[in-house]
Copies of this chain bind each other. A is one copy, B any other.
């Protein structure tokens, strides 16, 4: 049994789709996600500061779409492993209650005992970390899995998982049916 730490934003919650949807609602333009590749998160949109505004908008985190396959694979991982959800929620205080409500809705099988909202993730002790940010993976002592997001497409420092099927493969969960 391993202890696996899983990030929320861009890993369990599809924030890229959510940015694109919010942006289209506000500005009437559907951005091609490929144009965001290799650009720091939140940048690359024609109107500067748009994403930062969404991150501070009440309801944004509460209504984020679920990353395809995350529910099925996390549920399967929990059968053999100790899973902790670790989110850097402290930067956006509004997100605390929203993220907890979001988890309770979409991942009701995860206990409150296994949820961590933090700032820096350097304090986390586990065997695996699945995260989309270099700043979180960099100081982690265990096995590091970079979950692909537009902002990290140029990173070559870590073993990469492109989606939840890839995560299932890493942990040999061949039989999990994902979307």
Q: How many whole Å from A167's CB to the nearest CB in chain B? A: 19
Q: Is the interface of A mostly helix, strand, loop or mixed?
A: mixed
CA distance A100 to B96 in the complex (A): 10
Give the interface residue-count category, chain A. Answer: 20 to 34
Could you write out 5 A-B pairs with CB less than 8 Å apart? A3-B123, A113-B119, A113-B120, A118-B118, A123-B124
Interface string of A99-115 (1 = CB under 8 A from B): 01000000000011111
Across-interface contacts of A125 in B (CB, < 8 A): 123-125
Closest Cβ neighbor of A86 among chain B residues: B123
Residue of A3, A118, A126 with highest tally of chain B CB at under 10 A = A118
Residue of A3, A90, A97 with highest tally of chain B CB at under 10 A = A90
Partner among B93, B116, B119 whose Cβ is within 8 Å of the Cβ of A111? B119
Q: Is the CB of A117 within 8 A of B120?
A: no
A91 within 8 A of B: yes
Q: Is the CB of A113 within 8 A of B100?
A: no
Q: Which residues of A contact B (CB under 8 A)?
A: 3, 5, 84, 86, 89-91, 93, 96-97, 100, 111-120, 123-126
CA distance A8 to B78 in the complex (A): 30
Q: How many whole Å from A61's CB to the nearest CB in chain B? A: 13
Q: Is the CB of A115 within 8 A of B100?
A: no
CA distance A124 to B117 in the complex (A): 12
Q: A93-B100, A123-B124 known; 8 other A-B pairs, CB under 8 Å?
A: A3-B123, A84-B123, A89-B117, A91-B112, A96-B96, A114-B119, A115-B118, A118-B118
Q: How many whole Å from A12's CB to the nearest CB in chain B? A: 16
